[in-house]
Amino acid sequence: MKDTRENLIEVQGLKQYFTKTSGLLGRNVQYIKAVDNVSFYIKKGETLGLVGESGCGKSTTGRSLIKLYEPTAGKILFNGEDITNYNSKQMLPFRKRMQMVFQDPYASLDSRMTINEIIGEAIVTHGIATGKEKDERIFELLDKVGLMRDHASRYPHEFSGGQRQRVGIARALAVNPEFIICDEPISALDVSIQAQVINMLEDLQNDMGLTYLFIAHDLSMVKHISNRIGVMYLGNLVEIGGSDEVNNHPAHPYTEALLSAVPLPDPRLARERKRIVLQGDVPSPLNPPSGCPFRTRCSKCMKVCSEVKPELKEITPGHQVACHLY
Ligand code: SF4
């Protein structure tokens, strides 16, 4: 069935290049193509999962969306409004609407502040509430993320990793955002805690109508929470489609390899499945291969793959892949 919801996020041809200088007086300038011509949309109330090995550009994409970096090229639209070239003053109202949950729940909370101060800071900065009203709001947020009211007076070091991530989520929710970028929010947590945090994020999405970009390095983490999944490799989006479609009918050889590494609960199926082990490392984004960025590790590589860079092409409705096999 066609999803008729409006787009909250639209990214068109996003490029995020960083410069690296070397040589006498820094005259040699090279470009690190962290994100290279990436386009996608996220509909209101949906979750787009973004996966790929570390260094593939997924976190940089998330950070560019929220304007932590100034994009090198391309467009970012939020609810139809082009925010690509907005300065920090123009971005202020959007900071409230777009929030981020970080990977490391240890580093992302200031150890000198109480939980009340950490969550309250955003509430006061954005003029949402002060005094008793602010404290009430903090208690409500702690309830929402499954923490207790008396946790408000404690410091981050008094919590477990899972509890700290709950504080990070409460802080993101404090300003009533519409869109949250979850940047590997469960990667640093024990496996037993990961499912709890995913379930909580899903409940919050249903209650509050939130839209998520959920970034993770492995497909098993994103497939449960995502409506659609995008796969990135070396700064490029190589496949994107509905979560079931990408999981059941992966088209790009890189997606096939990632899926072959996902643990299967059924031991018989796990024994029968053939694991695709990728050879070599991800090439440097300073000097990416010609043609297809995946060609140096692809077992299906053809002559054309080193000559022409494949563009994303729709192979079934809503399922796009960038590969010369299609
Ligand atoms: Fe492999 Fe060629 Fe497809 Fe790239 S374009 S993934 S090298 S078959």
261-281 burial code (b ≥16 CB/10 A, e <16) = eeeeeeeeeeeeeeeeebeee
Q: Let me know: does 260 contact 60? Beta carbons within 8 Å.
A: no
What is residue 213's predicted lDDT score, i.e. its pLDDT?
A: 97
What is residue 100's predicted lDDT score, i.e. its pLDDT?
A: 93
Does the structure show a pLDDT above 70 at 239? yes
Most informative mutation of 290, 309, 311, 325 for ligand 1 (most atoms within 8 A of CB):
325
Per-residue pLDDT band for 2 (boundaries 50, 70, 90) equals low
Per-residue pLDDT band for 274 (boundaries 50, 70, 90) equals confident
| DSSP alpha helix (H) spans, the chain | 58-65, 88-97, 115-125, 131-144, 161-173, 191-208, 219-223, 243-248, 253-260, 267-272, 303-307
Distances (CA, A) of 94 to 69, 177, 181: 15, 9, 13
Does ligand 1 come within 6 angstroms of the Cβ of 78? no
> What is the overall mean pLDDT for the chain?
91
Does the structure show a pLDDT above 90 at 16? yes
Does the structure show a pLDDT above 80 at 272? no
Atom of ligand 1 nearest to the CA of 293: 4
pLDDT mean over 33-58: 94
The span from the CA of 75 to the CA of 16, in Å, is 11
Cα 50 to middle of ligand 1, angstroms? 20
Does the structure show a pLDDT above 70 at 129? yes
> Measuring from atom 6 of ligand 1, which residue has the nearest CA?
323
Percent of the chain clearing pLDDT 90 (strictly above): 69
What is residue 231's predicted lDDT score, i.e. its pLDDT?
A: 97
Atom of ligand 1 nearest to the CA of 299: 1
What is residue 182's predicted lDDT score, i.e. its pLDDT?
A: 95
What is residue 262's predicted lDDT score, i.e. its pLDDT?
A: 80
pLDDT mean over 309-324: 96
Of 104 and 180, more confident: 180
pLDDT mean over 225-234: 96
What is residue 1's predicted lDDT score, i.e. its pLDDT?
A: 64
Distances (CA, A) of 41 to 44, 134, 243: 10, 34, 15
pLDDT mean over 210-223: 89
Backbone phi, then psi, for 31, in 5-degree steps? -105, 130
pLDDT mean over 274-278: 80
Does the structure show a pLDDT above 90 at 313? yes
The span from the CA of 47 to the CA of 307, in Å, is 35
> Measuring from atom 5 of ligand 1, which residue has the nearest CA?
323
Most informative mutation of 294, 313, 315 for ligand 1 (most atoms within 8 A of CB):
294
What is residue 30's predicted lDDT score, i.e. its pLDDT?
A: 86
